[in-house]
Amino acid sequence: MSLQGKTAIVTGSNSGIGLGVARELGKAGANLVLNSFTDRDEDHKLAEELAAEFGVTVRYIKADMSKGDECRALIEKAGACDILVNNAGIQHVAPVDQFPVEKWDAIIAINLTSAFHTTAAALPVMRKAGWGRVINVASAHGLTASPFKSAYVAAKHGIVGFTKTVALETAREPITCNAICPGYVLTPLVEAQIPDQMKANNMGRDEVIEKVMLDRQPSKQFATVEQMGGTAVFLCSAAADQITGTTISVDGGWTAL
């Protein structure tokens, strides 16, 4: 399928799932707006590399997704927004009674409230263009919980509820809103945790992956950033025109347990 002429904004897309989603949308022909809160040479170089690889226009726009005005400015600066992927996210792990307040606030702001601001700014642009796709990167933790991840689980359940509401508000328009719910995905962030887990559990790499990291993922395989990107491309296809307000789990069976 071709997304030629469409512009996709992917928040938190200088690494991991966001970058994987941006790459697949670019491969399908969409012009891209990459984003993170940094403004490094390598961020802009990444945009140049993707533009050369896929023959599309790619811009990098710095915006801190913990700040509402910067979320809205991202959409305005992009100048177009046919596809909005709300992906930026952070994690912190601690029991509720010891959970640092500033971590709770940051997780709710970046993983949930940012999507409210970007979507609010993007919908009028999509309505004017007569077509739009809002894709929220939620998580298996948008559908089920784990201990010590209260803020993350609350934010991800919140984004699933937000997805349904936006879908109902746009149901009579050529705009859809859905959430992708990944299980464990081998992003650089997750890869970096493996050596520590090997030490802490006195296990080899394969054992840590199977028994610790993929404990709740029945396939015993990581999902990939390419699979997240492919799912996003599918949600942008005509086959998905009537798919709205729902979640698509890409979690190796986690939420079937």
Instruction: Say how many CA atoms lie within 13 Å of 27 toward its Cβ.
Output: 12
Kindly tell me which of 132 and 183 has the beta carbon lying closer to ligand NAD: 183
Joined together, the tokens standing for residue 245 give 């307000």
Judged by CB under 6 A, does residue 16 bind ligand NAD? yes
Is residue 103 within 8 A of residue 27, CB to CB? The reply is: no
Judged by CB under 6 A, does residue 185 bind ligand NAD? yes
Q: What are phi and psi of 50, to 5 degrees?
A: -65, -35
Length of the chain equals 257
Judged by CB under 6 A, does residue 163 bind ligand NAD? no
Question: Cβ 2 to ligand NAD, closest distance in Å?
Answer: 26
Site for ligand NAD in 92-121 (CB under 6 A): 110-111
Query: Cβ contacts of residue 38 below 8 Å, gap of 6+?
Result: 14, 62
Question: Cβ 190 to ligand NAD, closest distance in Å?
Answer: 5
Give the SS3 label for residue 202.
Answer: coil
Question: Cβ 201 to ligand NAD, closest distance in Å?
Answer: 19
Size of the site for ligand NAD (CB under 6 A): 27
Reply yes or no on whether 152 is catalytic.
yes
- What is the C-alpha to C-alpha distance for residues 198 and 73, in angstroms, rounded to an integer? 43
Chain residues binding ligand NAD by CB under 6 A are 12-18, 36-37, 64-66, 87-90, 110-111, 137, 139, 182, 184-185, 187-190
* Residues taking part in catalysis: 152
